[in-house]
C-alpha cells in the first residue's frame, strides 16, 4: 500500500507536468473505485490546475472552483504519458492536459479514490486529521501529551490519522526499531525522551524514503514508472527470522491492529 513517502513522490512526479495546465478532458473508464467517482468531478474540465499539493495520503489538484482529491488506495499509481499511448488493463482514469500529456490512474484492486470538492468547504475525508509528520506541528512534546493515559500499542497509536497522518506500517516499524521502542508498549508509557527520539526518527526515515523515491514492495512505482529504492534501506520490515542488524538476535513478528509488525526482542523494550 502506498504510504506517505510514495504519495509525496507521486506528487513531486506529476507537479511539473500538471501545474499551469488546463484540464481539457476527464476520461473515466471505470467509475467504481473505493467510492463511485462523482459526476461533479467533471467540473474540473476547462479548469487550470494551479497547484498539486498533498494532505495525508490524498493528492490535491487545486483549481479556481474546487479541488480534486486522489487517493492511491492499496495498488493505485499515477503516470504522466503522451495522449496517444493507449490505456492498458486497470487504467481507470485519464486527466487530459492542454500540453498534450495525460495523467493516467492505474489501480488493479480499485481501492483508491477520485473525489471532488467545491471551494469554500473542506472535504469530509480531510476532517479530523492530525498534523503532517514533517512539519513543525509534529513534535516530541505534542506526541507525549497526546499519548498520556493511552493504553493503545505505540505502533497503532502513531499510525492513527487523528494523532499524526502518514506514518504507515512500513515506516512505523522502522521508526520504532531505530528508537529501540517495542511496538507493543502502551503509548501512555512513553517518556518525553522516548517521544522526542521517536518523532525525530519518524521525520528522518520519512525524509530518507522520499529522497529514495519511496518503497517498492509490490505495486508502487513513481510517476515516471521507476520503482522506489527505499526497500534497500529497510532494517526490520519483512525480515522475520533474520538477524537483527544491531545485535544479531533473530527478528520476530506479531500482528498489531491486523498489521504485520516486525521487531527485535532484545533491542526494543
State the binding site: 90, 109, 150
| Residue 192 · residue 143 · CB < 8 Å | no
Give the Cα separation of 45 and 218 in Å (integer).
33
Q: Which three cell numbers stand for residue 118?
A: 467545491
Instruction: Say whether 57 is catalytic.
Output: yes
Find the catalytic residue in 2, 5, 133, 183. 2
Give the Cα separation of 213 and 230 in Å (integer).
7
Give the Cα separation of 176 and 153 in Å (integer).
12
Residue set of the binding site for DNA: 90, 109, 150
Find the catalytic residue in 55, 185, 203, 259. 259
Total length of the chain: 269
CB-based burial of residue 7 (10 Å sphere; 0-12 exposed, 13-18 middle, 19+ buried)?
A: buried
Give the Cα separation of 66 and 42 in Å (integer).
11
Q: Which of 75, 84, 45 is nearest to 61 (CA)?
A: 45
Instruction: Say whether 2 is catalytic.
Output: yes
Alpha carbon distances (Å) from 193 to 45, 63, 144, 167, 246: 51, 43, 9, 20, 21
Find the catalytic residue in 11, 54, 57, 104. 57
Buried b (16+ CB within 10 A) or exposed e, 206-220: beebbebbbbbbebb
DSSP labels, 85-140: SPP-TTEEEEEEETTSEEEEEE-SS---EEEEEETTS--GGGTT----TTSTT--H
By annotation, the residues acting in catalysis are 2-3, 57, 259
Amino acid at each position: 500500500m502506498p504510504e506517505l513517502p510514495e504519495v509525496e513522490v507521486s506528487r513531486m512526479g506529476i507537479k511539473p507536468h500538471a501545474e499551469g495546465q488546463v484540464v481539457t478532458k476527464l476520461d473515466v473508464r471505470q467509475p467504481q473505485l473505493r467510492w463511485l467517482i462523482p459526476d461533479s468531478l467533471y467540473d474540473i474540465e476547462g479548469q487550470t490546475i494551479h497547484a498539486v499539493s498533498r494532505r495525508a495520503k490524498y493528492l490535491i489538484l487545486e483549481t479556481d472552483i474546487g479541488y480534486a482529491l486522489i487517493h492511491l488506495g492499496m495498488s493505485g499509481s499515477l503516470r504522466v504519458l503522451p495522449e496517444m499511448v493507449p490505456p492498458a488493463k486497470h487504467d481507470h482514469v485519464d486527466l487530459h492536459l492542454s500540453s498534450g500529456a495525460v495523467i493516467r490512474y492505474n489501480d488493479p484492486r480499485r481501492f483508491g479514490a477520485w473525489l471532488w470538492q467545491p471551494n469554500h468547504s473542506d472535504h469530509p475525508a480531510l476532517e479530523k486529521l492530525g498534523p503532517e509528520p514533517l512539519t513543525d506541528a509534529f513534535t516530541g512534546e505534542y506526541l507525549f501529551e497526546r499519548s498520556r493515559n493511552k493504553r493503545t500499542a505505540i505502533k497503532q497509536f502513531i499510525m492513527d490519522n487523528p494523532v499524526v497522518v502518514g506514518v504507515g506500517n512500513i515506516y512505523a516499524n522502522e521508526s520504532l526499531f531505530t528508537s529501540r521502542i517495542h511496538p507493543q508498549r502502551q503509548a501512555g508509557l512513553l517518556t518525553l525522551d522516548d517521544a522526542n527520539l521517536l518523532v525525530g526518527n519518524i521525520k528522518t526515515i520519512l525524509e530518507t524514503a522520499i529522497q529514495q523515491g519511496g518503497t517498492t514492495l509490490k505495486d508502487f512505482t513513481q510517476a515516471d514508472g521507476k520503482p522506489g529504492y527505499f526497500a534497500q534501506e529497510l532494517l526490520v520490515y519483512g525480515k522475520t527470522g533474520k538477524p537483527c542488524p544491531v545485535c544479531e538476535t533473530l527478528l520476530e513478528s506479531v500482528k498489531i491492529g491486523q498489521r504485520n509488525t516486525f521487531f527485535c526482542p532484545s533491542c526494543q523494550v
